[in-house]
Chains A and B, each alone.
Chain A
Amino acid sequence: MHLSMKVCIFSTCIVDLLFPNVGQAMVEVLERFGCETVFPKGQVCCGQPTYNSGYSKETIKTFYNEIDALLSVDADYIVGPSGSCVGMLKEYKDILKDDPNYAKKAQILHDKTYEFSQFIYRVLGVLDCGAQLDATATFHRSCHMTRLLGERTAPFVLLEHVKDLEMIPLHNVQLCCGFGGTFSAKEPEISEAMVDDKVNNIVATNAQILIGADQACLMNIGGRMNRRGEKIKVMHIAEVLNHNVDLSRVKYVKDTDHQMVPANGSGVF
C-alpha cells in the first residue's frame, strides 16, 4: 500500500453537473489503495468547450481558475476521470508558456496530473483492483485519451483483471464516437452519422456493457443508444473497478511477473 499519498480530485464539469456516480467510484477506488483524497471546490472546468470552439482569449481565465484551484491544495498528484479533460490540463503548459504568472504553475500542473486508470496502473502499480463483474463488455477507447494523452493500454490491462468480466474487442476501435465537445451540437448531422457507426459496432459485439474512460464520450454514445432503444448498460471504468471488490484479490504489478505495458502500444498508426 502507498500510504499517505495525497491525491487532488479533478472532478470535471461533466461529472459535477451530471454523473455523481463516476466521481464517487473514482474516489472510493483511490482511497481503497491508500490515497488520501482532497477536493478543492474552486475548480470548475478545464475550458475545453470554449477553447476548442475557437474562443481562446475568453478561455484564458477559465484556465487560470482551474490552475489556482487544483494547485490550492498541497497534493502529490491530481487525478481525473476523463482522458480528454486531463489532456487539456496537460496542454496548459504549452498554451501559457509565455504567461509570466502561470507558465510555471501550468508546468507543475502538467507534471502532477493523471487520468484515473493511468494513475491506478502506472503510478499506484495496481494490476488487479479486486473487482468482480459477471458480464460481457466492450471498451470505447476515447480519442484524446489515446492520442493527446498517449494512454491506450492502461484501461485494457486493468479490465482484463476484473474477475468474471469478458472483454469483447470493438471493431474500428480507433474511430471517434462523434462527440468532439461542442462539435456534437454544432454539427449534429455529421456527429449523428459518426455516433451511429460507433453504436452499430458496439451492438455488433453483443456485449452487455459499454465501458469507457471518458464520461463525455459515454454520454454521447449512451445518449444515442438510448434514443435508438439499444439495450445495454454504460459504465465508466471507475465504476467497473469499484464493483464487488474483494480486497484479497488485489494484486500489485511488483508482486507478479507482469511486464508493464507501454502506454502507446506498438506505436505504428
Chain B
Amino acid sequence: MGLKTSELSFDERVKNAKKDKFMRASVAKAQDAQFEKRTRAREQLGHWNEWRELGEQIRQHAVKHLPDYLEEFSENVQKNGGHVYFAKTDADATAYIKQVAREKNAKKVVKSKSMVTTEIDLDKELLKIPGLSVMETDLAEFILQEDDWDEPTHIVFPTLHKNRDQVREVFQKIGYEGDNDPESMGRFARSYLRKYFMEADLGITGCNFAIADNGMINLVTNEGNADLTMALPKTQIVVMGMERIVPGLKEAEVLDNLLCRSAVGQKLTSYCTFSAGKLDDELDGPEDFHVVIVDNGRSNALNTVFEPILQCIRCGACLNVCPVYRQIGGQGYGSIYPGPMGKVLSPILDGYENFGELPYACSLCGACTETCPVKIPLHDLILEHRKVEMNKLHLDHSMTNVIFKTISVGTKAPILFKGALMGEHLAMKPFSNKKENSVENLYPEGKIDKVPKIAPKLIHGWVDIRDLAEPPKLRENFRHWYDRHEKERKRGEQND
C-alpha cells in the first residue's frame, strides 16, 4: 500500500468520509470510549504531567543521539548473533527482506501488525516472490488483508471503520459460519491463524522500542500474535523506523507505561515482550534474527523545526482526541498515518505534493498537543508546515492567497483598519437582510446568509455554512461607543 493510500483528491476524500455515517458514528464512539479509559488510566498513574515530561526527555535524548544509540543497538544485535540492515528507502528495506526470504527459501510468512511494514508496502513486495504466501496475524490487520487488503484507518485500531457485520461478511469468504458476535469471530480467527503460525518459516514483526544497550526488541500487544510470530518461525525479521530507539530497559519501562495508558487506556497490554534471537542455551526463538532499520524520509526531520515528530511513540492518542479525525476518519487523510501525527509526519516523509493539504485540515485546537504523552507540540508543527508552504515554497496562487496578503496589509496599518470600520456597514449592507433569526443577541443589524456566486471561495466557505452578523452602523461600533463613554466619564469627573 505504501504511505499514500488514495488517488482521490483531498476534497473528494472528505466528501466521501462525510457521507459515511457509519464510519463517523463508530469513530465518535471509539473516541468517547477511549477518552474515559485513557483519562482513568492516567489518573491512576498519578503525576501525569511529570511522567509526560520524563517521556519527552527520554525521547528527545534518544533522537538527539540517534546515530550513537543506533550504533550501540546494532553492535549488540550482532553480538547476540543477529544481523542489522540500515535501509535508506522503502525500496532498500523491501529488497533486503525479499533477499532474506529467498535465501531462506521461505514459503509461509506470518506477520504481526506493524505500521512501518505498511509504509514500505512490504506485503505487496513479498507476494511477488513465486510460491510465497503472507498472513497477517493481528486480528484487525487480518480482517483488512482478507478484505482485499483494505487500508488501515487508525494506527492502533486499523479497522475502526468496519462494523461487526462487515467483519462477518469478510470472514464468511474464508469459511466462517457463525453469527456477528465478536467473541466467536475472534475464536474463528484464532483457530484459522494457528495453523499458519505452526507452518510458518519466516516471521516479520514491527518494533515498539529497540533497546540500545542490550540489542533487544520490545513489543506491546494485546493478542499475543506478535509473540507467536517471534517464537515459532526459524527466521525472524524485525522492521523498525530508525527513531524507535531507547537507551536501555529502564527507559523502555517508562515509555511502555505512557504508551499503553495513552493508546488503549490500560496499565499495560496483555503482552509486553522483550526478545532477541535464540541464544545457544535457549529452547525456542528464531535461529536467524534480522533487524531492518528504516529511514525512508525520517532523517528529513532531523535538525529541523520538525525534529520533535521523531519523538512519536505511535500511541494514537492524538487521533483519538482530534475533532477533525472524528469527522473524516482515517481514510480522509490519504496516508497510512492519519490524524495530527500523520499531518505532521506524512509531508516530511513524502513531501507537500502528496500531503500539502493535510496541515490545513486542522483547526489548531491543540487537543493533540495536550494529550501527547511525549509532549510533541503537534499543532505547532502543523502550523510550521503551513509556514513552509506559504513563506518558503509559495504554494498557494489562488484568490485565497491574495485575500490573506490583503488582510496582512490591512491589519498592520491602523489607518486602513479605520477605513474598514468606516466602510464595513455600508459595504456589507447589500448582502444583509432582516429575515427572522432563531438565535438571539447576535444579529441586531440583520444577517448575511447568502453571497453572490462569484464571491471568493473563502467567503462562500463561511456563508454557505453559517450566518454572518451584519456589521454595526459606524456610530454604533465599539470604538465610537468608547469615545462617547470616555467623554461622559470625563464630564462626570469634572462635575465631581
Interface residue ranges, A against B (CB under 8 Å): 9, 11, 13, 15-24, 27, 39, 41-45, 47, 49-50, 52-59, 61-62, 64-65, 69, 143-144, 147-148, 172, 174-176, 178-195, 197, 218-220, 222-235, 239, 266-269
Interface residues of B in 225-282 (CB under 8 A from A): none
CB-CB under 8 A from B476, the residues of chain A are 20
Q: Which residues from chain B sit less than 8 Å from chain A, CB to CB?
A: 11, 14-15, 18, 24, 28, 32, 35, 39, 42-43, 48-49, 321, 323-324, 326-328, 360-367, 369-371, 383, 385-391, 400, 404-405, 407-414, 417, 420-421, 424, 437-444, 447, 449, 458-462, 464-469, 471-472, 476-479, 481-482, 485-486
Cα distance A232–B48 in the bound complex, in angstroms: 39
CB contacts (< 8 Å) of A239 on chain B: these are 441
Known: A39-B482, A185-B461, A224-B466. A143 touches B408 (CB 8 A): no
Contact of A178 among B323, B369, B400, B468 (CB under 8 A): B323
Closest CB-CB distance, B85 to chain A, in whole Å? 39
A17 to B409, CA, bound (A): 17
Write the nearest CB–CB distance from B290 to chain A, whole angstroms.
Answer: 40
Knowing A45-B417, A184-B461 are in contact, say whether A50-B404 is a contact too (CB < 8 A): yes
Q: Once the chains bind, are A183 and B440 in contact (CB under 8 Å)?
A: no
Nearest CB of A to B204, in Å: 36
Q: Which residues of the partner chain A approach B440 to less than 8 Å between Cβ atoms? A: 232-234
Contact of A13 with B411 in the complex, beta carbons under 8 Å: yes
Known interface pairs A16-B478, A58-B404; 4 further A-B residue pairs with C-beta atoms within 8 A, sorted by A's residue number:
A44-B417, A52-B386, A65-B414, A197-B327
Query: Once the chains bind, are B449 and A193 in contact (CB under 8 Å)?
Result: no
In the docked arrangement, what's the CA distance between A213 and B356, Å? 33
Q: Report A-chain residues with C-beta under 8 Å of the C-beta of B486.
A: 39
User: What residues of A have a CB within 8 angstroms of the CB of B478 in the complex?
Assistant: 11, 15-16, 19-20, 22-24
A176 close to B42 (CB less than 8 A): no
**With A13-B417, A44-B413 as given contacts, are A181 and B466 in contact (CB-CB < 8 Å)?**
no
Given contacts A45-B411, A54-B383, A186-B400, contact A180 B438 (CB under 8 A): no
Q: A175-B326, A178-B323, A184-B461 are in contact. Are A148 and B466 (CB under 8 A)?
A: no
Q: Which residues of B contact A148 (CB under 8 A)?
A: 366
Let me know if A144 and B366 touch, CB within 8 A. yes
Closest CB in chain A relative to B483 CB, distance in Å:
9
From known contacts A53-B386, A190-B327, infer whether A269 and B370 are also in contact, taking CB-CB under 8 Å: yes
Q: Specify the main secondary structure of chain B where it touches its partner.
A: helix
Is A56 a contact of B387 with CB atoms below 8 Å?
A: yes
- Known A-B contacts A16-B478, A219-B442; the reply to A269 vs B468 at CB < 8 A is no
Other-chain residue from A27, A42, A47, A147 in contact with B367 (beta carbon distance below 8 A): A147
Whether B413 and A50, one on each chain, are in contact in the complex, defined by CB atoms closer than 8 angstroms, is no
Please, which residues of chain B bring their CB within 8 A of the CB of A181? 363-364
Q: Which single member of B28, B360, B414, B420 contacts A43 (CB below 8 Å)? A: B414
**Minimum CB–CB distance for A43 against chain B, Å:** 7
Chain A: minimal CB distance from B330 (Å):
14
In contact, A227 and B466 (Cβ under 8 angstroms): yes
Which residues does chain A contribute within 8 Å of B466, judged by CB atoms?
Answer: 195, 220, 223-224, 226-227
Q: Are A179 and B417 in contact (CB under 8 A)?
A: no
> A52 contacts which chain B residues (CB < 8 A)?
364, 383, 386
In the bound complex, CA of A197 to CA of B28 (Å): 10
Complex contact B477–A195 (CB within 8 A) = no
A187 and B465 contact, CB distance less than 8 A: no
CB distance from A9 to the nearest CB of B (A): 7
Nearest CB of A to B402, in Å: 12
Closest 7 pairs (CB-CB, A-B): A180-B363, A54-B386, A223-B466, A54-B390, A185-B461, A176-B365, A58-B408
List of A residues within 8 angstroms of B324 by Cβ: 190, 194
**Which of these, A24, A41, A49, A188, contacts B481 with CB under 8 Å?**
A24
For A47, the chain B residues whose CB sits under 8 A away are 411
Residues of B within 8 A of A235 (CB): 441
* Pairwise interchain contact B462-A269, C-beta atoms closer than 8 A: no
Chain A residues within 8 Å of B471, by CB: 17-18
Give chain A nearest CB distance to B362 CB in angstroms. Answer: 7
**By the criterion CB–CB under 8 Å, are A224 and B465 in contact?**
yes
Question: A105: shortest Cβ distance to chain B, in Å?
Answer: 16
B414 to chain A, nearest CB (A): 5
A selection of 5 A-B contacts at a CB cut-off of 8 Å is A20-B476, A23-B482, A176-B323, A180-B362, A219-B469
Most buried by A among B14, B391, B461: B461
Are B447 and A16 in contact, CB atoms less than 8 angstroms apart? no
Bound Cα distance from A59 to B410, whole angstroms: 10
Q: Contacts A39-B479, A53-B404, A54-B391 given; indicate if A143 touches B366 (C-beta within 8 A).
A: yes
CA distance A227 to B463 in the complex (A): 10
User: Within the complex, which residue of A53, A218, A268 is in contact with B442, where a contact is CB–CB below 8 Å?
Assistant: A218
How far is A229 from B438 in the complex, measured between Cα atoms in Å?
5
In Å, the complex CA distance between A20 and B424 comes to 14
- How far, in angstroms, from A233 to B440 measured CA to CA in the complex? 4
Q: Are B391 and A232 in contact (CB under 8 A)?
A: no
Q: Which of A19, A147, A178, A194 contacts B469 (CB 8 A)?
A: A19
A18-B472, A65-B414, A229-B438 known; A190 vs B328 contact (CB < 8 Å)? yes
In the bound complex, CA of A225 to CA of B443 (Å): 12
User: Are B458 and A53 within 8 A (Cβ)?
Assistant: no
- A41, A54, A148, A180 interface centre (most CB from chain B within 10 Å): A54
Question: For residue A223, which residues in chain B have a CB less than 8 angstroms away from its CB?
Answer: 442, 462, 465-469
Scoring B49, B324, B476, B481 by chain A CB atoms within 10 A of each residue's CB, the highest score goes to B324
One of B48, B363, B388, B389 near A176 (C-beta < 8 A)? B363
What are the residues of chain B within 8 A of A64 when measuring CB–CB? 412
Task: Name the contact of B407 in the complex, choosing from A42, A49, A192, A267 (C-beta under 8 A).
Answer: A49
Q: Tell me the minimal C-beta distance from B293 to chain A in angstroms.
A: 33
CA distance A39 to B489 in the complex (A): 13
Shortest CB-to-CB span from A12 to chain B, Å, is: 9
Q: Contact at A50–B407, with CB atoms within 8 Å?
A: yes
With A189-B15, A268-B39 as given contacts, are A16 and B477 in contact (CB-CB < 8 Å)?
Answer: yes
Residue of A nearest to B322 (CB): A176
What's the least CB distance linking A75 to chain B, in Å?
14
Which one of B326, B424, B464, B485 lies within 8 Å of A197 (CB-CB)? B326
The answer to whether A234 touches B386, judged by C-beta atoms less than 8 angstroms apart, is no
Nearest CB on B from A54, distance (A): 3
Query: Once bound together, how far apart are the Cα atoms of A229 and B328, in whole Å?
Result: 25
Chain A residues within 8 Å of B407, by CB: 49-50
Give CA–CA (A100, B487) in the complex, Å: 39
Asked, given contacts A53-B386, A59-B408, A268-B39, whether A147 binds B413 with beta carbons under 8 Å apart, the answer is no
In the assembled complex, the CB of A182 is this many whole angstroms from the nearest CB of chain B, namely 7
